[in-house]
Structure 1
């Protein structure tokens, strides 16, 4: 069940218009955005990174702060959550991050093939029931789609606290995009120093829950 809209949601979103890219309500108009996402950034020629499901924006805003020469696009379907992320970006004065309030299903209509240098999937819905496996963001068909959106040498980073989702994802990555890094304890791995912690990650880590991670790179010979 989706959360009830907050009474002040509309004005809050309006105040964040500078960092939110509107998505047409008419599906037929959505493809018109394809190839023009970069135009929403002050530096359209900068590399474009994508986070699928940005939550309250702690990860993407910190990433944008650390990497001013990279453009970051964040997708989040829940407006009540996305508004917090957008407000964070506005408060920090970030010029290189933009948000789209929509579902990841729209990605093929929004992003050109080979347009992304990096994709981040952090703590997505595990869809616990077996019959729901096709809804998981790391289902191999979805990974194949992400791969088409990545440029040669582009990377996909995945993090979760859910072991079952991680276990499932290891097979899906091997089938679609073989990883160069797999760990059952990201915070004690060689990538721990550069890891940006999300809201969920901080919460689960404090409970002693290990963080699982997978990273994969698109080979140059694949198109």
Structure 2
């Protein structure tokens, strides 16, 4: 992803500290207190420009959401959408997802979304893929026993890798689609990348997986 510099992004994030939570390590184990209501907590790792999280928060006021994005200029776009939407059940974190266990207590999260993650196609970079075993282990730690991972991509290679990675980790597949937009799946909310790729005719892959008890 080519990143553009967005002047004033860092200052905007500081100004809206009630939306982009500063010092998230201080909230570890206390996220229920950050939101207006105590509700299930879903997070998106790599929230990008925020459409998915904002629309999910609108559609599901009974769930609390946190969008995680490490690039300041990108999360600033997500913040713009959040300011406009004014949904009380969504917060953002401008942090690196490799440190999730610093921000969330064991079992504190109910679902993890991974949408159109960087495929890191070179074999030597596979450890950077968000469905690599070290990431799966980290998600398992912060997820509730009944928690799930919901994963979408247009990259067939990454999808195949992710399915094998989840299977090798002993996870159970609850749902799998090799062509989401031509399936009977209801309630799909598209990300910016999903709309872009699907408009070009790219097939969208989706899987829901859980850790075996």
> Please, what TM-score do these two structures have when normalized by structure 1?
0.89
Aligned with 1:55 (options 48, 64, 89): 48
Note the C-alpha offset of 1:108: 0.8
Distance 1:48 1:142 in 2: 19
Find runs of 4+ consecutive structure 1 residues off by over 4 angstroms: none
- The Cα RMSD (Å) is 1.7
Aligned with 1:153 (options 141, 146, 157): 146
Structure 1 stretches of 5 or more lacking a match? 25-29
My pick for the range that moved more, 11-20 or 93-102, is 11-20
Distance 2:80 2:34 in 1: 17
My pick for the range that moved more, 93-102 or 172-181, is 172-181
Distance 1:2 1:108 in 2: 28
Distance 2:22 2:5 in 1: 18
Preserved CA contact (<8 Å) 2:112 2:150: yes
Please give the residue correspondences for 1:172-187 in structure 2 after superposition, counting only pairs within 5 Å.
172-176=165-169, 177-187=171-181
- Matched with 1:195 is 188
Asked if 1:16 is matched to 2:16, the reply is yes
Distance 2:190 2:91 in 1: 20
Please give the residue correspondences for 1:135-174 in structure 2 after superposition, counting only pairs within 5 Å.
135-174=128-167
Note the C-alpha offset of 1:87: 1.6
Distance 2:180 2:162 in 1: 15
SS in 1 for 2:198: helix
Alignment: residue pair count: 212
Structure 2 stretches of 5 or more lacking a match? none
Preserved CA contact (<8 Å) 1:16 1:87: no
- Matched with 1:93 is 86
> Please, what TM-score do these two structures have when normalized by structure 2?
0.93
Preserved CA contact (<8 Å) 2:109 2:147: yes
Note the C-alpha offset of 1:11: 3.4
Asked if 1:204 is matched to 2:211, the reply is no
